[in-house]
């Protein structure tokens, strides 16, 4: 075959294969390569048979069949495999060629790779690709970060292969420099963990608190995925679909015999680590990671379940329909809170790492293709369009008005779940995040400030008075700092402003 390829894909696992098929279906010639050649062979003799897909079995040959500037997409496991391929490719490439890493890489690796390759004249994009196998084949959400000129080389291909939102807009945009794309994808996954955790807690309450079987819960979820429902989303849809599945051995539901262990590949943990680094609270997302960790320690749970007699768990005896409606709105508020946390993290990261992120555009490309796609993202997009400077998502009138009216429902849901003996770490974290962010004075922090000063002479700031929450400053705007001599008679206070 003498035809040259528009783009090359390395890595013939399911994501790589499906992306190659997607590109080909949009009219592109695609060269493919895999470290183990038999996988390439199986692909071109199987799903890629008769298509404009060029198999190659040597890297040199792969590079030779690509049109210039070459565009090479790596769809391999994050970490060492990405570095390994980059190392092997670089000597075969020319200045101005482009390598794209489409895996779930750690964004600091992406920043490093971008810099190292730039020094060699090679362009580099680190991009999030969300949507799983089906998304890769039919249209994922794509979150590319790197040089703008690099993005321009593949913009058309990315637009063509991306998912389209309901209004027809492509679910791809240039995210920002070096690690921006992978940071946004990691945060997307953290938000995904949060969504999954919150939905799971609702299901657990329905099962234990309301005594419903999985089929009944699936019906509620299906209803919540109705056309105009505020909860309508892909994750609610697949929860409904998977929970009604019966297992093969009998008449029971599959979900009831699946082990209660949620594994993870690491992106949620990275999200929480970044939040810790940037001092941004994301308690709902963290609670989702912690809950996965707790789920994995099955041994300790089996032991402790015998030892600790937690309250037996009362079934809810009130109006079922009413409580399901409460759960619906509670879940929506918890979700708003979780997204507010995730977006706050993006905002902080943008500042620290100069990603120059546009939160409205990010919400816009998350509306289709990706795992967290939802009607709700349209509302977020509109909110940032109305006010690009929103200090927090919860400040957007469309969300604050809903929260102001319905927050009690989230409180009530937490209360009845606890009464039923159902842990709701995610829901409670979402609720308390709202309570904290809306506290002009956090009394717990006042107490801690004095504790620190007492045991460590660490000093404290002061506010204008009991009902004057503003911090007092010097005339030139410096925060005034004080210390009480706790061990000295009369406990004198002195000013220690530096």
The label of the residue with tokens 């949060």 reads: 194
Least spacing, CB of residue 455 vs ligand 6PG, in Å: 40
Phi, psi for residue 354 in degrees, rounded to 5: 50, 45
Figure out which of the listed residues 18, 29, 40, 104 binds ligand 6PG, where binding follows CB under 6 A.
104
Q: Are 150 and 118 in contact (CB under 8 A)?
A: no
For residues 267 and 341, which CB has a smaller minimum distance to ligand 6PG in the complex? 267
User: Of 187-216, which residues contact ligand 6PG (CB under 6 A)?
Assistant: 189, 192
Is residue 30 within the footprint of ligand 6PG (CB under 6 A)?
Answer: no
Q: Given the rule CB under 6 A, which of 118-126, 259-267, 270-278, 458-466 is the region that contacts ligand 6PG?
A: 259-267
Least spacing, CB of residue 271 vs ligand 6PG, in Å: 10
Q: Given the rule CB under 6 A, which of 128-136, 334-342, 444-452, 481-489 is the region that contacts ligand 6PG?
A: 128-136
Least spacing, CB of residue 15 vs ligand 6PG, in Å: 9
Sign of CA dihedral 335, 336, 338, 342: positive
Q: Given the rule CB under 6 A, which of 27-35, 129-137, 176-184, 204-212 is the region that contacts ligand 6PG?
A: 129-137
Least spacing, CB of residue 39 vs ligand 6PG, in Å: 20
Is residue 294 within the footprint of ligand 6PG (CB under 6 A)?
Answer: no
CA dihedral 175, 14, 134, 127 (to 10 degrees): 0
Least spacing, CB of residue 197 vs ligand 6PG, in Å: 11
Beta-carbon contacts of 139 under 8 Å, excluding residues fewer than 6 positions away, are 22, 131, 161, 162, 163, 164, 171, 368, 369
Is residue 268 within the footprint of ligand 6PG (CB under 6 A)?
Answer: yes
Is residue 130 within the footprint of ligand 6PG (CB under 6 A)?
Answer: yes
Q: Are strands 468-471 and 98-101 parallel, antiparallel or unpaired?
A: unpaired
Tell me the residue nearest to ligand 6PG as measured from the CB: 130
**32 SS3 class:** strand
Beta-carbon contacts of 278 under 8 Å, excluding residues fewer than 6 positions away, are 345, 348, 349, 352
Query: Is omega for the bond preceding 69 within 30 degrees of 0, making it cis?
Result: yes
Is residue 131 within the footprint of ligand 6PG (CB under 6 A)?
Answer: yes
Figure out which of the listed residues 222, 264, 395, 437 binds ligand 6PG, where binding follows CB under 6 A.
264
Count, residues near ligand 6PG per rule CB under 6 A: 12
Active site residue 379: no
Phi, psi for residue 433 in degrees, rounded to 5: -60, -45
User: Of 132-191, which residues contact ligand 6PG (CB under 6 A)?
Assistant: 132, 189
The label of the residue with tokens 């469309």 reads: 398
Q: Given the rule CB under 6 A, which of 26-34, 70-78, 201-209, 262-270 is the region that contacts ligand 6PG?
A: 262-270
Least spacing, CB of residue 284 vs ligand 6PG, in Å: 16
Q: How far apart are CA 117 and CA 147, in angstroms?
A: 11
The label of the residue with tokens 């400030």 reads: 449
For residues 104 and 338, which CB has a smaller minimum distance to ligand 6PG in the complex? 104
For residues 29 and 341, which CB has a smaller minimum distance to ligand 6PG in the complex? 341
The label of the residue with tokens 């609670």 reads: 287
Q: How far apart are CA 22 and CA 28, in angstroms?
A: 9
- CA 40-41-47 angle, to 5 degrees, is 85
**113 SS3 class:** helix
Candidates 198, 170, 207; CA nearest to 370 is: 170
For residues 21 and 371, which CB has a smaller minimum distance to ligand 6PG in the complex? 371
Figure out which of the listed residues 265, 298, 351, 452 binds ligand 6PG, where binding follows CB under 6 A.
265
Least spacing, CB of residue 14 vs ligand 6PG, in Å: 11
Token pair recorded at residue 28: 């592109």
Angle between helices 214-224 and 320-352 (to 10 degrees): 60
Active site residue 322: no
Least spacing, CB of residue 264 vs ligand 6PG, in Å: 4
User: Of 342-381, which residues contact ligand 6PG (CB under 6 A)?
Assistant: 370-371
Active-site residue among 24, 192, 201, 379?
192
For residues 102 and 283, which CB has a smaller minimum distance to ligand 6PG in the complex? 102
Phi, psi for residue 291 in degrees, rounded to 5: -65, -35
Active-site residue among 24, 71, 78, 185?
185
Q: Binding mask 303-332 vs ligand 6PG (x if CB under 6 A, - otherwise)?
A: ------------------------------
Q: Given the rule CB under 6 A, which of 44-52, 89-97, 124-132, 252-260 is the region that contacts ligand 6PG?
A: 124-132
Candidates 42, 33, 54, 141; CA nearest to 364 is: 141
Least spacing, CB of residue 9 vs ligand 6PG, in Å: 17
Q: How far apart are CA 412 and CA 355, in angstroms?
A: 40
Least spacing, CB of residue 29 vs ligand 6PG, in Å: 26
For residues 357 and 370, which CB has a smaller minimum distance to ligand 6PG in the complex? 370
Q: Binding mask 54-73 vs ligand 6PG (x if CB under 6 A, - otherwise)?
A: --------------------
Helix (H) or strand (E) holding 133: helix 132-138
Q: How far apart are CA 8 and CA 24, in angstroms?
A: 11
Sign of CA dihedral 163, 30, 154, 10: positive
Give the interface with ligand 6PG as residue ranges (CB under 6 A).
104, 130-132, 189, 192, 264-265, 267-268, 370-371
Active site residues: 185, 192
């Amino acid at each position: 075959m003498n035809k040259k390829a528009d783009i090359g894909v390395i890595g013939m696992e399911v994501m790589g294969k499906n992306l190659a098929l997607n590109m080909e279906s949009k009219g592109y010639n695609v060269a493919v390569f895999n470290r183990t050649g038999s996988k390439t062979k199986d692909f071109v003799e199987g799903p890629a048979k008769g298509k404009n897909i060029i198999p190659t079995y040597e890297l040199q040959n792969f590079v030779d069949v690509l049109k210039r500037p070459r565009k090479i997409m790596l769809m391999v496991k994050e970490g060492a495999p990405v570095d390994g391929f980059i190392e092997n490719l670089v000597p075969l490439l020319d200045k101005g060629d482009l390598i794209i890493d489409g895996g779930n890489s750690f964004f600091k690796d992406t920043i490093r790779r971008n810099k190292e390759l730039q020094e060699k004249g090679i362009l580099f994009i680190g991009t999030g690709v969300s949507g799983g196998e089906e998304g890769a084949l039919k249209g994922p959400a794509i979150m590319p970060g790197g040089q703008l000129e690099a993005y321009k080389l593949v913009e058309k291909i990315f637009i063509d292969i991306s998912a389209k939102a309901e209004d027809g807009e492509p679910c791809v945009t240039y995210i920002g420099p070096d690690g921006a794309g992978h940071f946004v994808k990691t945060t997307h996954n953290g938000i995904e963990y949060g969504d999954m955790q919150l939905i799971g807690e609702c299901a657990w309450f329905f099962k234990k608190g309301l005594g419903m079987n999985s089929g009944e819960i699936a019906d509620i979820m299906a209803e919540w995925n109705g056309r105009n429902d505020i909860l309508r989303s892909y994750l609610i849809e697949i929860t409904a679909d998977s929970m009604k599945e019966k297992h093969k051995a009998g008449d029971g539901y599959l979900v009831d015999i699946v082990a209660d262990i949620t594994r993870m590949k690491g992106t949620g943990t990275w999200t929480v680590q970044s939040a810790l680094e940037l001092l941004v609270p994301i308690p709902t997302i963290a609670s989702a990671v912690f809950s996965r960790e707790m789920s994995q320690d099955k041994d300790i749970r089996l032991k402790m379940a015998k030892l600790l007699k937690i309250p037996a768990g009362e079934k809810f005896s009130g109006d079922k329909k009413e409580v399901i409606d409460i759960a619906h709105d509670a879940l929506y508020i918890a979700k708003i809170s979780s997204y507010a946390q995730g977006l706050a993290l993006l905002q902080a990261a943008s500042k620290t790492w100069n990603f120059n992120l546009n939160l409205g555009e990010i919400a816009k490309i998350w509306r289709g293709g990706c795992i967290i796609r939802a009607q709700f993202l349209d509302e977020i997009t509109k909110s940032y369009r109305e006010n690009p400077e929103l200090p927090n998502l919860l400040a957007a009138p469309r969300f604050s008005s809903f929260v102001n009216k319905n927050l009690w429902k989230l409180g009530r849901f937490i209360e009845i779940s606890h009464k039923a003996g159902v842990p709701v770490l995610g829901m409670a974290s979402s609720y308390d995040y709202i309570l904290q962010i809306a506290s002009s004075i956090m009394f717990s922090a006042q107490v801690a400030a004095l504790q620190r000063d007492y045991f460590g002479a660490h000093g404290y700031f002061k506010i204008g008075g009991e009902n004057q929450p503003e911090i007092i400053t010097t005339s030139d705007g410096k925060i005034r700092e004080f210390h009480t001599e706790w061990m000295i008679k009369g406990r004198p206070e002195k000013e220690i402003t530096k």
